[in-house]
Amino acid sequence: MPDMQHLNDLVIQVRRDILRQVHKVNSGHPGGSLGCTEFFVALFQELMERKEGFNMDGKGEDIFFLSNGHISPVFYSVLARSGYFPVEELNTFRLLNSRLQGHPTTHEGLPGIRIASGSLGQGISVAIGAAHSKKLNNDSHHVYTLCGDGELQEGQNWEAIMYAAGNKVDNLIVTVDYNGQQIDGSTDNVLPLGNLKGKFEAFGWDVMEIEQGNNMEAIMNGMKTAKSKTGKGKPVCVLLHTVMGNGVDFMMHTHDWHGKAPNDEQLEIALSQNPVTLGDY
Amino acid sequence: MKKYIDSGKKDTRSGFGAGLTELGKTHPNVVALCADLTGSLKMDDFKANHPERFFQVGIAEANMMGIAAGLTIGGKIPFTGTFANFSTGRVYDQIRQSIAYSHKNVKICASHAGLTLGEDGATHQILEDIGLMKMLPGMTVINTCDYNQTKAATIAIADHHGPVYLRFGRPKVANFTPENQSFEIGKAVQLQDGNDVTIIATGHLVWEALQAAETLNEQGISADVINIHTIKPLDAQAILKSVKKTGCVVTAEEHNYLGGLGESVARVLAQNNPTPQEIVATQDTFGESGTPEQLMEKYGLNATAITKAALKVMTRK
């Protein structure tokens, strides 16, 4: 049984990391990061079978790709707190000569990162390639990827979605951060995604929804179900209903904090809503 | 003067196909991807011999580049195959982020480059791809001249770790370089030794450069002819050594003069040894329909154009 208290403590600490990272450099993307905090913690702490240390090839372990690279603050925090690099390095987020670039990259050799992302719509394709590679290597582990819902407006996704079903890439679990928000407003206002579940299904995917995408138990149960659906000839899609900015009341249910950092006063309020658990970096 | 014999016209894309067939036998980690152009890219043999290592992605080049990047994770060496236009311009951002910036070991193999694609016209005749690809940090750019060299290059790039753009073409052209040659990435090939003018050519223009050198020789002019199959990294040493002898240079390529081999050579010369240069290339234009020969004539990309440029550049010494 997972230690739920520890996981929830970690979630709060990761929220603090996200807020402090973006505040320090007055830039970055807190909204989507906060919305996916529980998912990242669950994935890296409980769901993925990971090896000690970092090897680019990821043989014999589950691997993860972040397609919507702008939510790097949550990725970096969870990687650091999962042992990939020292948590103190979160202090260097977006600074000159840092390995923690604005968007994730392999270029600086940061452990845990297997592909650069930021220009949207490319993660599912990359994950498919890695999934093929696993099968060729007789490696029964899984490939996970997370993409944004607004990101699905990029056409390359649908090339990849068509391909994965057509080629029975069934060791792949794609999670969509379904928060309904993007930079210019709600996805409904910018470019409606329509019936997303129906679209994935029509393309031949096994689709499931996690209605409470910010609830640790719901995520764990849902993602375990998703894993049980692999190996059956279909790629698996999880529509993870999240709240952008989750855990900070004034950042929730709006696209305003997609790519904006809190000022000193706002940071103080946000941190007070998430008191220290495991210790700040 | 060395004599080069055409052993029989062959297309460079078939050299790629033959190289890939070899790699199928020798390199178990080589995999191939194609975007609905398996026959055109001559990938049929590899597909038949290794169906589990061949990925038909359909008409979806962006996805192909991403899948190729992902396949490297786990140790595969992916070779993508489609036309040069769809291998570069159409998927530039995918190559930039998922392959070049991520330093993935992907070999982007591009056929039907340049005007010699012929009748399909400008939509398919990319003349900007060398420029696009050489600007990407860490990308190796190779443009081979005949069947034998294309086969050798295809085999060689499998053992080079890092992203490579391999450019070749559609028409049957003279096959004059040695069979089973060794191919050294970044190393120019000296084809003729001369003292009056340097001719540096790449791709289909190498054979034309040799023909031009013969014409010049008949006029008592000795041309130093260099085959630059690797445009990046460029063999600056070979270029500088040659112009030191000759004092002037003609570059020749089936590409726009902006962004191509000519500009790369000009940069080396400007920084090290400013030298008069003429550039045989297309003049910032799109192509059009026609036979390869007609197009190369109309756009000034043949032995006649190289000879003319050589005579002109010698007056500028």
B263 is a catalytic site residue: no
Residue A278 belongs to a domain: no
Tell me how many domains chain A contains. 1
Q: State which residue of chain A sits closest to B76, comparing Cα positions.
A: A133
Structure tokens at A117: 């992302």
B272: how many CB neighbours lie within 10 A of its CB? 14
Contacts of A119 in chain B (CB under 8 A): 93, 96-97
How large is the average pLDDT for residues A54-66? 98
Residue A281 belongs to a domain: no
- DSSP secondary-structure letter at A254? S
Contacts of A129 in chain B (CB under 8 A): 66-73, 78
CB pairs under 8 A between A and B: 122
Dist. CA A144–CA A167, nearest whole Å: 17
Tell me the residue length of chain B.
Answer: 317
- What are φ and ψ of residue B255, in 5° steps? -165, 160
Of A105, A124, A137, the CB nearest to B74: A137
Contacts of A59 in chain B (CB under 8 A): 74-75
Residue to mutate among B34, B77, B102, with most A CBs inside 10 A, is: B102
Q: State which residue of chain B sits closest to A130, comparing Cα positions.
A: B70
Taken in order of first residue, the domains within chain B and their CATH numbers are 10-173 (3.40.50.970), 189-315 (3.40.50.920)
Contacts of A166 in chain B (CB under 8 A): 58
Give the containing element (helix H, strand E) for A239: strand A236-241
Contacts of A65 in chain B (CB under 8 A): 70
3-class DSSP state for residue A154?
coil
Contacts of A163 in chain B (CB under 8 A): 57-58, 60, 63, 67
Model ipTM over 0.90: yes
What CATH number does the domain containing A8 carry?
Answer: 3.40.50.970
For residue A120, give how far its alpha carbon lies from the nearest alpha carbon of chain B (Å).
Answer: 10
Residue A280 belongs to a domain: no
Those residues of chain B whose CB sits closer than 8 Å to some CB in chain A are 31, 52-53, 55, 57-58, 60, 62-76, 78, 93-94, 96-98, 101-104
| Beta strand pairing call for B54-56 and B77-83 | unpaired
Residue A279 belongs to a domain: no
Q: Is the peptide bond preceding residue B233 cis, with omega within 30 degrees of 0?
A: yes
Contact A129 B71 (CB under 8 A): yes
Residue A193 belongs to a domain: yes
What's residue A1's pLDDT?
Answer: 72
Dist. CA B314–CA B46, nearest whole Å: 48
Active-site pick, B61, B128, B253, B263? B61
Nearest to A77 by CA among A18, A29, A121, A34: A18
Dist. CA B134–CA B141, nearest whole Å: 6
Residue A49 belongs to a domain: yes
Of A57, A106, A115, the CB nearest to B75: A57
CB A210 within 8 A of CB A240: yes
Nearest to B20 by CA among B40, B38, B37, B45: B45
Contact A107 B93 (CB under 8 A): no
Residue A107 belongs to a domain: yes
Residue A153 belongs to a domain: yes
How large is the average pLDDT for residues A128-150? 98
- Which stretches in chain B have pLDDT values below 50? none
What's the farthest any 2 CA atoms get from each other in chain A? 53
Enumerate the β-bridge partners of residue B33. Answer: B55, B80
- DSSP secondary-structure letter at B178? P
For residue A55, give how far its alpha carbon lies from the nearest alpha carbon of chain B (Å).
Answer: 10
* Complete DSSP assignment for B4-66: ----S-EEHHHHHHHHHHHHHHH-TTEEEEESS-TTTTT-HHHHHH-GGGEEE--S-HHHHHH
What's residue A274's pLDDT?
Answer: 98
Contact B70 A131 (CB under 8 A): yes
What's residue B73's pLDDT?
Answer: 98
For residue A165, give how far its alpha carbon lies from the nearest alpha carbon of chain B (Å).
Answer: 12
Write out the residue range of the structural domain in which residue A12 sits.
4-272
Dist. CA A71–CA B68, nearest whole Å: 24
Give the containing element (helix H, strand E) for A192: none
pLDDT digits 0-9 by tens, B102-132: 999 999 999 999 999 999 999 999 999 999 9
Dist. CA B1–CA B195, nearest whole Å: 12
